[in-house]
Amino acid sequence: MTTAIFRTTSHTHHDEPRHVEQAARLIAVEQALAASGLLAQAQVAVAAPARERDIRAVHSTRVVETLQYISLEGEAWLDSDTYVMLGSWEAAQQGAGAAIEAVDALVSGRAANAFALTRPPGHHATPNRSMGFCLLNNIAIAARYATDVLGLERVAIVDYDVHHGNGTQDTFYADGRVLFCSSHGAPLYPGSGQADETGTGAGTGTTLNVPLSYGVGDSGYSQAYRELIVPALHRFQPELLLVSAGFDGHWDDPIGPHALSVTGYAGLTQLLKDAAAELCGGRIALVLEGGYSMRALPASANAVLGVLLGLPQPDPLGGAAGGEPDIAPLVGGIKRLHPLLQSC
Ligand SMILES: [Zn+2]
């Protein structure tokens, strides 16, 4: 079966070279995928822009019209780290479109799994606010499309970007059809994602946060995924698994405090691919989020594409030096408090 890749081309119009979130990131990823030969093994398509009604199913009129207006008029900063310029709306719209097309490809059976190569990233964008480098929440728009347009009853999102996916959490906090699981550094931007944030109303128990202290790497992440996130997926029984694939948890990342390696990221992705094979016919789509090391980002993206294709890739950077903090007390605490994990 096929691995589908959905590319975005208009992202180059959203580019501030003095900012860590710049077009060179995704250009480097695509060069790495081509150089390794993996791109040639996949079915590659350029994504169409998302329909405005699919974007508005997540985002308020204020978010949509602010981006559209600034993209026509010139340039502005929405907060101290989120820029918008001529062409940003088209870039954001195509990023959301890539995530939607990945969902479509899996649900229709045209692809076994998929990788949406998107930027700017999306997971900090809330229904009412673009923030944290993110304009539109690509993965949230795709998950809502899966439930509201395609009629799926249970979609899971796992977020292994080093930052908490606050926008995704906010979108689905009271929506029991979407399980949101996030591992992230704490304390770290944006400050949300405590273990006791577990959902509300119909969404009670469908948010799972694993806030990890600084220095956690391959061993701690593996433990968190094996003991918390994979069991939660088994409890929830999703029909589709989406992954916010951010690579700023790598030890070489200039803004992330964690110590994952390329091999570690491949291992987490393999755990999720295996879970998807058991639970939902293998339907797993990765959506690119953060990652700001120009060495670790392309190598990690290449390694996780290798997992999707079943073609293991080398780790050119190796593992982090030094030991890791023990996360067993955190894991034990979350098992005791989380509604989805009790009696696991
Ligand atoms: Zn991040």
pLDDT tens digit sequence for 187-244: 999 999 999 999 999 999 999 999 999 999 999 999 999 999 999 999 999 999 999 9
Cα gap 75→80, rounded to integer Å: 13
pLDDT at 343: 62
98 CA to centre of ligand 1 in angstroms = 19
pLDDT at 342: 84
Q: How far is CA 114 from CA 146, 217, 275, in A?
A: 15, 26, 15
What value does the mean pLDDT take over residues 53-73? 96
130 CA to centre of ligand 1 in angstroms = 14
Question: What is the CATH T-level fold of the domain 3-337, as seen in this structure?
Answer: Arginase; Chain A (3.40.800)
pLDDT at 1: 74
Q: Are 215 and 325 in contact (CB under 8 A)?
A: yes
97 CA to centre of ligand 1 in angstroms = 21
Cα gap 127→330, rounded to integer Å: 30
Q: Check whether the bond before 187 is cis (ω within 30° of 0).
A: yes
Q: Where are the domains of the chain?
A: 3-337
Give yes or no for residue 344 having a pLDDT over 60: no
Between 296-309 and 262-279, two packed helices, what is the crossing angle to 10 degrees? 30
Q: Which among 124, 163, 164, 184 is annotated as catalytic?
A: 124
290 CA to centre of ligand 1 in angstroms = 4
Q: Which residues surround ligand 1, an ion (CB under 5 A)?
A: 161, 163, 246, 248, 290
Whether 124 sits among the annotated catalytic residues: the reply is: yes
Q: Which stretches does DSSP call E strand in the chain?
A: 3-7, 43-46, 76-79, 82-84, 113-116, 155-159, 178-185, 207-212, 240-245, 284-288
138 CA to centre of ligand 1 in angstroms = 14
Strands 76-79 and 82-84: antiparallel
pTM of the model: 0.98
220 CA to centre of ligand 1 in angstroms = 18
Phi, psi dihedrals of residue 171, rounded to the nearest 5°: -60, -40
pLDDT in tens, 155-174: 999 999 999 999 999 999 99
Q: Which residues 6+ apart lie within 8 Å of 321 measured at CB?
A: none
Round the average pLDDT of the chain to a whole number and report it. 97
